[in-house]
Structure 1
Amino acid sequence: MIGQGTARRPLLLALPGLALAAGARAQAWPARPVRIVVGFAPGGPSDTYARMLATELQAIWGQPVVVENRAGANGVIGTEAVARSAADGYTLLSTATNHTMNAAAYPRLPYDTVADFTAVCLTATAPTVLVIHPKLGATDLAGFVAHTKAHPGAVGYATSGAGGAGHFAGELFKRRAGLDMPHIPYRGTAPAVQDLLAGNVPASFATLTTVLVHIRSGGLRAIAVATRERVPPLPDTPTFEESGYPGFEANVWYGILAPAGLPEAITTRIAVDIQSIQARPAFRKALADQASLPATGGPAEFAALIRREVPQWQAVAHDAGITVD
């Protein structure tokens, strides 16, 4: 018995030392610049939120925080770059709902959507809104549905590209409402909005951030928001649920991921620092100016959201035939 107790003692003594070493590594981090990869071109919401956070995190961490745009394939190129990076806290990914949608829309991805990443925290949410060109004539969702059913195949909806949030929202709704409503994908948000404003395409399922200025100017008409409750920028625009489609939601979330295996102490540190920024009135106002709200999910909540959404969007993609080669 004495021999067994003696044999255990070095191991038991080593465990506190290991914990202290892990804590020391977290305290020493970051010792050099941190990179936040954005899988989209500059100017979009993922890029905007990353740059807003980078400025504040740089002040907290005392190290440069650099935003790097690696656009292409609906975020896949930048996401793959992060998946292949070292799990040391120096490479992060500013991502969005497209992360789980890509797992449904792409037959093959160069990474595992769940297993190859460490969920750090959610950063913001933005409503999806159905907007139409005023010449369409509809003033509410019932009128839009009636018009679209009366003109099968003639009322198309524009999005920023195949497999994106607007595409999934549009397919989800048109099946719910029984509509023959063609999807018209564009190469980016700007050309989609330009054609919508010109009346070349009658409708769009868009992130509110990208169309709010045109709704306020009268260039576009907001028909319904895909949120549980009405949103402050559009207090007079009803939700889909209020308009007769219970449970219909298609919000866009934004968040920070890291490569799989990021030490828990560093994951927690990044999440806590970001959440401290989210609590600041100035940051909340900046998000509100982008027609967005701060999200409050930490590592566990964000990881659970990703695991939950992948099969949900896979079911939608299967039913709607959404695929991106």
Structure 2
Amino acid sequence: MVPFRSRVRCGASSLNMLKIAGAVVVLAGAAVFSQQVQAQAFPSHPIRMVVAYAPGGATDIVGRMLAQEMSADLGQTVVLENRAGGGTLVGTDSVRRSPADGYTLLFGTNAFVITPLLHDKPTYDPVKDFQPVSLTTVQSLGILVTPKLNLRTVQDLIAYAKANPGKVNFASSGNGSAQHLAGEAFRTAAKIEMVHVPYKGTGPAMTDLLAGRVDVMFSSLVGNTEHVNEGRLNLVATTGAKRNPATPNVPTVAESGLPGYEAGTWQAVLAPAGTPAPVVERLNAAIAKAAKSPRIVETLAAQGMEVRTSSPDALRDMLKKDSGEYQVLLKHTKTTLQ
């Protein structure tokens, strides 16, 4: 009888396991169904898209254009919110800590990858703590110089900096920004001394450059081509591998005596990690449609910026690649938060 009782116990155990397995399947199915329902209802109220810079810069300008086009497609308002500070850390971390429901997004730049690399203590992981949604734009930068220095070429700038060591400064939208790294890479390649002056966004930095309170800025041309055309700033070079289509008569830095130099910037939309896949897909589709708007494409192309979207997975791969490359660049240029 003992073997029989043993078999009965095993049978009961198997039944319990089947019940548990069934419950797991039901829960998994419920979770999938819940996500599908959530996606179908998304969005049911306005979406907040955070820009980790002060108003007035290229990221702010492009973000507002994108938000307007996305609003039309999604049927809900996409509200842009400027949250500057901490070299983009304040705004970025606010999104990381937000609910993963698609209603809080980050409109980020290269600084999204660079900022964590500049801190000794852990801040956030750009790959693990966020869900990529889509790339939106790419662009080379322009080297903009105050007319007060009367410098017209890269060689003029290098010669002036060597003749006045430590007196030339360059502004950026903040520590860890693509502008900051472009300037550091230029300083290293040209073997000159330049003092970095970080701001809380391109807007306030550009205001001081126009006023002649700072000397140089490596910046997007979006919002700045008029300043160049009207003589308020001198554009001495662009930083891409090829000449910028919007300024075909302006040479690249590489053409101007620093072969191999190249720097650029990108903008992308990200969400908190754990955002449901159907919601991410809906947002990605809205961005793809917005990116085809003639208003966005033509306006940005005239200022040297290319509209370029991607899948979430392609953006994740790009973030991983950039993180590795920026680690090498930061070490080479000895760039820190100081």
Question: Which ranges in structure 2 are unaligned for 5 or more consecutive residues?
Answer: 1-10
Higher mean C-alpha deviation, range 206-215 or range 181-190? 181-190
2:279 matched residue in structure 1: 266
1:26 matched residue in structure 2: 39
Q: What RMSD in Å do the two structures reach over aligned CA positions? A: 2.9
Give the secondary-structure state (helix, strand or coil) at the position aligned to 1:234: coil
Give the C-alpha shift of residue 307 in structure 1. 1.2
CA distance in 1, matches of 2:104, 2:317: 22
2:193 matched residue in structure 1: 180
Give the secondary-structure state (helix, strand or coil) at the position aligned to 2:326: helix
Q: Scaled by the length of structure 1, what TM-score is found?
A: 0.86
2:4 matched residue in structure 1: none
Give the secondary-structure state (helix, strand or coil) at the position aligned to 2:232: coil
CA distance in 2, matches of 1:279, 1:256: 16
Give the C-alpha shift of residue 210 in structure 1. 4.8
- How do residues 222-241 of structure 1 correspond to structure 2 at under 5 angstroms? 222-241=235-254
Higher mean C-alpha deviation, range 152-161 or range 175-184? 152-161
Say yes or no: does 1:298 pair with 2:333.
no
Give the secondary-structure state (helix, strand or coil) at the position aligned to 1:26: helix
1:164 matched residue in structure 2: 177
Give the C-alpha shift of residue 229 in structure 1. 2.0
CA distance in 2, matches of 1:262, 1:118: 7
Q: Scaled by the length of structure 2, what TM-score is found?
A: 0.83
- How do residues 1-325 of structure 1 correspond to structure 2 at under 5 angstroms? 22-186=35-199, 188-288=201-301, 291-324=304-337
Higher mean C-alpha deviation, range 216-225 or range 59-68? 59-68
CA distance in 2, matches of 1:303, 1:35: 22
2:7 matched residue in structure 1: none
42 and 143 in structure 1: CA distance in 2 versus 1, 3 angstrom threshold: closer
Aligned 8 A contact 1:123 1:294 in 2: yes
CA distance in 1, matches of 2:313, 2:209: 39
Give the C-alpha shift of residue 237 in structure 1. 0.7
Aligned 8 A contact 1:116 1:260 in 2: yes
Amino acid at match of 1:113: P
192 and 299 in structure 1: CA distance in 2 versus 1, 3 angstrom threshold: same
Give the C-alpha shift of residue 211 in structure 1. 3.1
Aligned 8 A contact 2:52 2:90 in 1: yes
Question: Aligned residues, how many?
Answer: 321
Give the C-alpha shift of residue 178 in structure 1. 1.4
Identity of aligned residues (%): 37
Amino acid at match of 2:155: A
18 and 192 in structure 1: CA distance in 2 versus 1, 3 angstrom threshold: closer
Question: Which ranges in structure 1 are unaligned for 5 or more consecutive residues?
Answer: none
12 and 164 in structure 1: CA distance in 2 versus 1, 3 angstrom threshold: closer
- CA deviations 1:104-160 (Å, max 9, x no partner) are 223335422221000100112233111223343443223332333333323332333
- Between structure 1 and structure 2, the one with the greater Rg is 2
